[in-house]
Amino acid sequence: MKKKEDLRIVYMGTPEFAVESLKCLVEGGYNVVGVVTMPDKPMGRHQDVLQASPVKQYAVEHGLRVLQPVKLKDEAFVEELRSLRADLQIVVAFRMLPEVVWNMPPMGTFNLHASLLPQYRGAAPINWAVINGETETGITTFFLKHEIDTGEVIQQVRIPIADTDNVGVVHDKLMELGGRLVVETVDHILTDTIHPIPQEEMAVKGPLHPAPKIFKETCKMDWQGRPLKPLYDFVRGLSPYPAAWSEMKDEAIGKVYTLKIYETEKEPCVCHEPAGKVVSDGKTYLKVAVDGGYLRLKEIQLTGKKRMRIEDFLRGFRMPENLLML
């Protein structure tokens, strides 16, 4: 049995979510022989500034070897990866790996996924769990195989989702738990005390929910098509990023405002206004009529303006008489 200092680990990840697990491995004394992350991203108005991923920034600060392939099947990258002689590969919030990569180390490749698999397979599991009004989510470690997010489950940890939690809150909780679970999973692999379970054998209540990538059009509010609670959950599931958005039209002059919505509050009641109708006293509240009551907007951002509480927004905004959310 190898000791943790002798176990050669290659770590793969890109965003902030993946930094915590890498940090736990490094601070725990595990032998991370290489870090694979996305190429630096062009930033700025002229795309002339290169921004390193959060995982690369951490790796460089701690003197770890960094690989940044454009294509994961590139022969030069595959050879460089093979030269690291990894016993085990760990993937957290990275890309879909080709078999030549995930099948390379003798102990396999495992992934940390931010859902209770087999639920919420896909690129945005935390967002979709909150959008769908789930009261529980969690993290899963599983071995990679051909189909994305379908490999045998090693371990899971569950956490509750409060009705007031937004995706940022849940993300940070899962990120911290994920770091600990990655280390636990490595320890169980080292001691050969794992009993992986095929996902098709796991008990699941109700249908399986996917977690596809979120685009701008995904984030548009549907005032006529969704009732109060799903609209409230929709905002939470996209806050603080990428944020739900809507268009607000002054029907008297036809002017349309575009705004992002970061926080709302439910006001259940029998509502006689048409869905999308904006109601406000012009000073302290702005709410939108929906099926099942009103959705009170608490924090918003008009295009070109800063994000602000609704009281501050109303202080500088002349409220037209006939406003409608589109």
- Side-chain half-sphere exposure of 238, counting CA atoms within 13 A: 24
- Please check if 116 is assigned to a binding site: yes
Give the integer Cα–Cα distance in Å for 19 and 252: 51
Using an 8 Å Cβ cutoff, are 166 and 157 in contact? no
SS3 66: strand
Task: Say if residues 320 and 256 touch (Cβ distance below 8 Å).
Answer: no
d(CA 107, CA 117): 22
Whether 302 has a binding-site annotation, put simply, is: no
112 assigned ligand-binding residue: no
Q: How far apart, in Å, are the Cα atoms of 149 and each of 121, 144, 268?
A: 6, 7, 38
Exposed e or buried b per residue across 78-104, where buried means at least 16 C-beta atoms within 10 angstroms of its C-beta: beebeebebbbbbbbbbeebeeebbeb
Angstrom distance (rounded) from CA 237 to CA 231: 10
Q: Known binder of ligand: residue 115?
A: yes
In this structure, which long-range contacts are made by residues 69-77, counting pairs with CB atoms below 8 Å and at least 24 apart in sequence? 69/36, 69/39, 70/39, 72/97, 72/98, 72/101, 73/98, 73/100
Rounded-to-5 percentages of helix, strand, coil across the chain:
25, 30, 45
Annotated binding site: 115-118
Residues annotated in the binding site for (6S)-5,6,7,8-tetrahydrofolate, as ranges? 115-118
